[in-house]
């Protein structure tokens, strides 16, 4: 084989050898995936990587792939598996992987319109399409981010400036949400310099949704006390139970008191595509900002969130900066540059990993998959209700089913369910997670992998019954 005289520029022949090895590995992984465990509790946990340190001389691709398989792809959660029913899973669409490959090889800089007008147009086109799904205006500001955490930071920093929350008023500037809001929102408040803002956790109803009357009462009391209410954060799909807060009523309250209204729809937003999901999100259009993650509801691999903000001018005022060395990059265009609407300047061309599967599969395929997940959640809920010993306290609004096993006395339920989740995870055929709900240790089925179908749910239910019976017998 002829070697390149430039070590970092492999020849066509060298590229072909490596690419073939990588594609063989990928195809083998996808072929084996249905039979792979969803979770492997490896005692080494990838420590074998440390036995192959970064060195002066290269290794061949086969050796590198062997390390990848044993030390990275095998231990832990198999996130690409349909048996991943634990945390809200990131997808793993094959065409997304090809999109990332094309984006990385061409290496277009997608931060500034001048540098890559087509790439920026593609990302803005995708954001306008997302805005249309939730009935946001076409000229809303938007940004494709690494995930919901950065998307939330962009939204809350914009809200801070729009509401004129300066350092002088922060200790009296009140935020309203529920105890089930995602922790990334607390983190975003802290990073945005708002950690001293009082945060009111508004009481929830029996289905763990914010109670609007309690929200209005809290705002009225804070205003009477001389405080400055400024931000309401509602959820469209909580992590714990998948609940959707009453978005229309909360929007009316936000408008009445002139507060910024943010909706965290990172998990639930793309259910707007599903025929039975769209009505559940009624009222989301009244929000000032919305976060929705394609790496959740559109089954894209980890690393793609999105934020939409109605006030484009305010978003730009919060995030836009100009340096002298960037003067050549100024462009007269209606297409906003991502760097002007987010903290990022250096930016991967994330849009291609979403655009390519949307074009190659068509939106209808995503619509059908999302509708299937809603149906599977109802199926799992009904099956658990009919299974002796299991308690299912929340009717699923989206695709999270929360439940526990109630053993006969004297076994304590929390202790039993801790043993049950451990037994299911050690079994490895499916992966489930747990949470605490009003002090009760609960198990979760999070159904959002495009590879999860009814046989997967049936298998999970069978494993749960099997492990619960074994634990009861063991005493």
- pLDDT in the model for residue 89: 76
Are 245 and 291 in a shared domain? Answer: yes
Q: Which residues contact 240 (CB under 8 A, 6 or more apart)?
A: 180, 208, 400, 402, 435, 437, 444
- pLDDT tens digits for 393-444? 999 999 999 999 999 989 999 999 999 999 999 999 999 999 999 999 999 9
Cα–Cα dist 181/163, whole Å: 21
Are 388 and 450 in a shared domain? Answer: yes
Are 148 and 128 in a shared domain? Answer: yes
- pLDDT tens digits for 218-262? 999 999 999 999 999 999 999 999 999 999 999 999 999 999 999
User: For position 189, which CATH number holds?
Assistant: 3.40.640.10
Q: Which residues contact 188 (CB under 8 A, 6 or more apart)?
A: 149, 152, 153, 155, 156, 157
Are 331 and 405 in a shared domain? Answer: no
On whether residue 38 sits in a domain, the answer given is no
Are 409 and 467 in a shared domain? Answer: yes
On whether residue 316 sits in a domain, the answer given is yes
| Residue ending a domain, choose from 341, 361, 381 | 361
Are 400 and 430 in a shared domain? Answer: yes
Residue 462 parent element (H or E): helix 454-474
Cα–Cα dist 199/55, whole Å: 50
Are 369 and 277 in a shared domain? Answer: no
| Residue ending a domain, choose from 333, 361, 389 | 361
Are 274 and 217 in a shared domain? Answer: yes
Are 355 and 370 in a shared domain? Answer: no
Are 346 and 437 in a shared domain? Answer: no
pTM given for the model: 0.95
| Residue ending a domain, choose from 361, 380, 409 | 361
On whether residue 180 sits in a domain, the answer given is yes
- pLDDT in the model for residue 6: 84
Alpha carbons within 13 A on the beta-carbon side of 10: 12
- Domain of residue 367 covers 363-474
Cα–Cα dist 144/2, whole Å: 41
- Domain total for the chain? 2
Q: Which residues contact 181 (CB under 8 A, 6 or more apart)?
A: 233, 235, 238, 264
Are 415 and 450 in a shared domain? Answer: yes
């Amino acid at each position: 084989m002829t070697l390149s005289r430039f070590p970092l520029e492999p020849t066509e022949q060298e590229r072909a050898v490596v690419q073939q090895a990588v594609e063989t590995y990928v195809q083998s992984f996808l072929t084996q995936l249905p039979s792979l465990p969803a979770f492997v509790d490896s005692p080494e946990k990838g420590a074998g990587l440390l036995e192959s340190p970064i060195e002066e001389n290269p290794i061949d691709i086969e050796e590198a792939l062997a390390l990848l398989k044993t030390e990275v792809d095998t231990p832990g959660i198999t996130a690409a598996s349909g048996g991943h029913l634990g945390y809200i899973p990131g997808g793993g669409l094959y065409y997304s992987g090809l999109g990332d490959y094309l984006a990385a090889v061409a290496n277009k800089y997608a931060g500034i319109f001048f540098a890559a007008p087509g790439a920026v147009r593609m990302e803005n086109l995708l954001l306008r399409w997302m805005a249309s799904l939730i009935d946001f205006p076409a000229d809303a500001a938007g940004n494709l981010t690494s995930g919901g955490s950065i998307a939330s930071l962009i939204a809350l920093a914009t809200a801070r400036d729009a509401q004129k929350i300066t350092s002088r008023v922060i200790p009296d500037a009140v935020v309203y949400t529920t105890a089930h809001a995602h922790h990334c929102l607390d983190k975003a408040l802290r990073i945005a310099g708002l950690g001293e803002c009082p945060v009111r956790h508004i009481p929830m109803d029996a289905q763990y949704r914010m109670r609007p009357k309690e929200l209005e009462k809290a705002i009225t009391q804070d205003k009477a006390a001389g405080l400055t209410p400024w931000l309401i954060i509602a959820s469209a799909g909580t992590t714990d139970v998948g609940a959707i807060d009453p978005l229309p009523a909360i929007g009316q309250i936000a408008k009445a008191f002139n507060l910024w209204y943010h909706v965290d729809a990172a998990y639930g937003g793309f259910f707007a595509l599903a025929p039975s999901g769209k009505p559940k999100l009624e009222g989301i259009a009244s929000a000032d900002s919305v976060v929705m993650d394609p790496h959740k509801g559109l089954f894209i691999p980890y690393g793609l969130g999105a934020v939409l903000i109605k006030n484009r001018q305010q978003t730009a005022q919060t995030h836009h900066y100009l340096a002298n060395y960037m003067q050549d990059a100024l462009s007269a265009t209606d297409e906003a540059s991502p760097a002007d609407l987010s903290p990022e300047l250096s930016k991967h061309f994330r849009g291609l990993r979403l655009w390519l599967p949307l074009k190659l599969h068509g939106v209808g395929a995503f619509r059908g998959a999302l509708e299937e997940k809603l149906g599977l959640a109802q199926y799992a809920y009904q099956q658990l209700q009919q299974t002796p010993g299991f308690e299912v306290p929340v009717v699923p609004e989206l695709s999270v089913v929360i439940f526990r096993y109630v053993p006969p006395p004297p076994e304590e339920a929390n202790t039993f369910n801790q043993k049950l989740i451990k037994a299911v995870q050690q079994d490895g055929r499916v992966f489930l997670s747990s949470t605490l709900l009003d002090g009760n240790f609960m198990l979760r089925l999070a159904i959002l992998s495009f590879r999860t179908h009814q046989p997967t749910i049936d298998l999970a239910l069978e494993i749960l019954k099997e492990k619960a019976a074994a634990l009861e017998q063991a005493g």
